[in-house]
Amino acid sequence: MIIFDNVTKVYDDNKTVALENLSFTVEKGEFVFLVGHSGAGKSSIIRMLLCEERPTSGKVIVNGFDIGTLSQKQIPELRRSLGVVFQDFRLLPNRTVYDNVAFAMHVVGAPTKQIRRRVPEVLSLVDLAHKARAYPSQLSGGEQQRVSMARALANNPSILIADEPTGNLDLKRSDEIMAILDRINQKGTTVVMATHAEKIVNSMQKRVITLDMGALVRDEEKGGYEVGI
Amino acid sequence: MAFRGLKYYCSEAFKNIWYNKLMAITSIITVMSCLLIFGFFLVVQLNLNDITKQLEGQCEIQAFMPQEYNDEQAKQVCDKISVLPNVKSAILETRQQAYDNYKDTLGTAANVMENINPEEFLPASCKIRPNDISQLNELEAQVSAIEGVEEVINRRDTVNGVISVNSIIRNGCIIFAVLLALIAVFIISNTIKLDVHARQREIHIMKYVGATDWFIRWPFIIEGIIVGFLGAVVAILITLLISSLLLNALDSFGNIFQFRSSSDTMPLVSVVLLLFGVVIGALGSLVAVRKHLQV
Ligand SMILES: Nc1ncnc2c1ncn2[C@@H]1O[C@H](COP(=O)(O)OP(=O)(O)O)[C@@H](O)[C@H]1O
Ligand SMILES: [Mg+2]
C-alpha cells in the first residue's frame, strides 16, 4: 500500500530537512498513527502521500504510484484512490452537507444516479444522515469533521489519510471521530493518521510510528504515545 | 468532454458570473466597446471597398487620335485597342460626339459653339476600361504604342488616392482592433482571476479529491467565452441600430455612391463580431487560468 524507502525531504526555500532517511511500509488494512512534536515531519509525510510534495531522495510508493516520478497528469488518479481529512475540515461554506459530499463525486465524474445512492450511504456511515440539508455553519466542529470524513469516503478510497483530524475538537468529539475511523478501518480501509493527541493514541492501541526531527525513532505495533521531552 | 461534463461546466460558469455580477458586466461592456468600434470600422471598410470598386469601375483611360482622323480611321484604332489583353471595353467617341458632349455641359451657353466646326474642335478618342486596375500602367504603354494614338490620359491619381485612403483606414482598423482586443483580453482575464481567487478553497478541495486540471479549468474558460459572447451580442445589436440610423442619414448621398444596406452587411459583421467575442473571451480566461490556477 505505502512504501517509504530511505526518504529524505529538504524544502528548497529554507533548506529545512523535514524528513531524514525515513523507511517504513504500511500494509493493506492497517491503522497507523504518525506521532511526534510539532515540526517533526508528520504533515510532510501526509503531503508526500498526496503527491503535494516529492521526496528529495529515496522512494515513496503509494497504491502502486511512484511519488518521485509521478507525472502531473497522473496525480488525479493517485488522489482518487485516497481519501483525505484535515484539521480545519475544509468544507465549502455555501454548499449543504449533501452537496459538499456530492461535490467530491462530481469532480471524479461519477454518474448522478450513483451520487444519489452513495451520498446518503456515507452520511449515515458518519451518523449525519439527518443533517444532509444543513450548511456547515449550522454544524458543530465534530459534525463538520464528520462531513469531511464522509466526503473523503465518498469515492471509496483504499487509504484514508488524516492530518490531525481531532486537532480542533474536544475529547468527546474526538472520540466520535476515532470511533468512525475505527469502523472504517474494520471495513478494510487502510488508515494513516497524523496526531499529537496522546490520549487518543494510547486508547486506540494501534501501530504507532514516532518521528523526531524528521527521523523515525520508534515503530511499534499496539504502541503508545512516547515522544520524549 | 462528455455532455454531462459540459452541462456541469456551464452551470459552474454561470454561477461564477452570477456570483461576480459586477465584474462580469464590466467585462461584457469592455468586450462590447471593443467589438462596437471594430464593427463600426468593419461596416465603414465594407462600404469603402465598395466605393473603391465603384471608382475602379469608373476608371478609364482615354486615347486621343490626331485631329484629322475621321470616324473610319478612329474606329480602326479603337478596334486595335479593344483586342489588347487587359481591355474590358473600348468605346469610340467620334469628333461629333465629343463636340455634342461638350456642348451639353455648357447648358444654356451652348450657343457659343454654333460657329465651331466639330471636325476641328476636339479629336476622336477611345474610352478604355481595364479588367485589372493594377495593370493600368502596362495597358497605358501598350495603348500609346498603337499607331494613330497621339495622347493617352487617365484618372489614375484619383483612384490611387481612394485606394491608399482605403488601405490606411484598413491598417488603422487592424491595429486599433488588435489594441482593443488586448485590452479586452486583459480585463476578462482580470475578472476570471477574481473568480479563481474567490473559489481558491473550492479549487483546493477539488484537487485533493482528484479533479483533473481540465476539469478545474473548463468552467473558467467557458465563463470567459460566455462573457465574450454576450459582449458580442450587445455590440451587434448596437451596430445594427447605429448603422441603420447612419445609412438613413446618408441616403441623400445615395446618388453619388451606393452604400451598402445593413441587411447586406450585418450577417457578415455579426459572424465576425461573435467570433471575435468568443475568441477574446477564451483568450482572456486562458491567460487567467494559466497565470492564476496552478493546478
Ligand atoms: N512548505 C514548507 N516549506 C519549508 N519548510 C517547511 C514546509 N513545510 C514544513 N516545513 C518545515 O519542515 C519541518 C516539518 O514540518 P511538518 O511536516 O509540517 O511537521 P509536523 O506536521 O509534524 O508539525 C518543520 O521544520 C517545518 O518548518
Ligand atoms: Mg502538521
pLDDT digits (tens, 9 = 90+) for A154-209: 999 999 999 999 999 998 999 999 999 999 999 999 999 999 888 899 999 999 99
Residues A71, B278: Cα–Cα separation, whole Å: 32
Checking if the pLDDT of A10 tops 90, the result is: yes
Short-list B88, B95, B86, CA closest to B140: B86
A126: in domain = yes
Does the beta-carbon distance from A108 to B209 stay under 8 Å? yes
Q: How many domains does chain A have?
A: 1
| A94 — pLDDT class (breaks 50, 70, 90) | confident
Ligand 1 center–CA A19 separation, angstroms = 9
Q: Which protein residue has the closest C-alpha to ligand 1 atom 27?
A: A39
Say which of A72, A104, A112 has its CB closest to residue B209: A104
| Proximal ligand: closest to the CA of A215 | 1
What's the topology of domain B60-154? Alpha-Beta Plaits (3.30.70)
Say which of B4, B8, B209 has its CB closest to residue A79: B209
| B254 — pLDDT class (breaks 50, 70, 90) | low
Average pLDDT over all residues of chain A? 93
Instruction: Give me the percent of chain B exceeding a pLDDT of 70.
Output: 89
Q: Which residues of A touch B201 (CB under 8 A)?
A: 90, 92
Lowest mean pLDDT among A185-199, A206-220, B119-133: B119-133
Lowest mean pLDDT among A71-80, A93-102, B169-178, B206-215: B169-178
Chain A interface includes B202 (CB < 8 A):
yes
Checking if the pLDDT of B201 tops 90, the result is: no
What domain range includes position A139? 91-156
A163: in domain = no
Residues B145, B139: Cα–Cα separation, whole Å: 10
A128: in domain = yes
3-state DSSP assignment of residue A62:
strand
pLDDT given at position B251? 66
Does the beta-carbon distance from B4 to A92 stay under 8 Å? no
Phi-psi region of A163 (alpha: psi -120 to 50; beta: other; left: phi over 0): beta
A152: in domain = yes
Does the beta-carbon distance from B8 to A80 stay under 8 Å? no
SS (H, E, C) chain B: CCHHHHHHHHHHHHHHHHHCHHHHHHHHHHHHHHHHHHHHHHHHHHHHHHHHHHHHHHCCEEEECCCCCCHHHHHHHHHHHHCCCCEEEEEEECHHHHHHHHHHHHHHHHHHHCCCCHHHHCCCEEEEEECCHHHHHHHHHHHHHCCCCCEEEECHHHHHHHHHHHHHHHHHHHHHHHHHHHHHHHHHHHHHHHHHHHCHHHHHHHHHCCCCHHHHHHHHHHHHHHHHHHHHHHHHHHHHHHHHHHHHHHHHHCCCCCCCCHHHHHHHHHHHHHHHHHHHHHHHHHHHHHHHCCC
Do residues A22 and A8 touch, judged by C-beta distance below 8 A?
Answer: yes
A30: in domain = no
Average pLDDT over all residues of chain B? 83
- Which is higher by pLDDT, B39 or A49? A49
Cell numbers for A126: 458518519
Instruction: Give me the percent of chain A exceeding a pLDDT of 70.
Output: 99
| B1 — pLDDT class (breaks 50, 70, 90) | very low
Q: How many Cα atoms within 13 Å fall on the side-chain side of residue B181?
A: 18
Residues A147, A137: Cα–Cα separation, whole Å: 12
Residues B175, B168: Cα–Cα separation, whole Å: 11
Q: What is the mean pLDDT of residues B271-287?
A: 92
ipTM: 0.86
| A149 — pLDDT class (breaks 50, 70, 90) | very high
Q: State if pTM tops 0.80.
A: no
CATH 3.30.70.3040-classified regions of chain B? 60-154
pLDDT given at position B280? 92
Tallying the residues shown for chain A, one arrives at: 229
A34: in domain = no
A194: in domain = no
Chain A interface includes B75 (CB < 8 A):
no
Checking if the pLDDT of B181 tops 50, the result is: yes
Short-list A33, A9, A32, CA closest to A22: A9
Checking if the pLDDT of B51 tops 60, the result is: yes
| B257 — pLDDT class (breaks 50, 70, 90) | low
Residues A207, B1: Cα–Cα separation, whole Å: 44
Residue A81: what are its φ and ψ, rounded to 5°? -90, 0
| Proximal ligand: closest to the CA of A35 | 1
| B252 — pLDDT class (breaks 50, 70, 90) | low
A223: in domain = no
Checking if the pLDDT of B229 tops 70, the result is: yes
pLDDT given at position B4? 62
Q: Which residues of B touch A154 (CB under 8 A)?
A: 209
Short-list B73, B72, B70, B61, CA closest to B120: B70
The response to whether residue A136 sits with its C-beta less than 6 Å from ligand 1 reads no
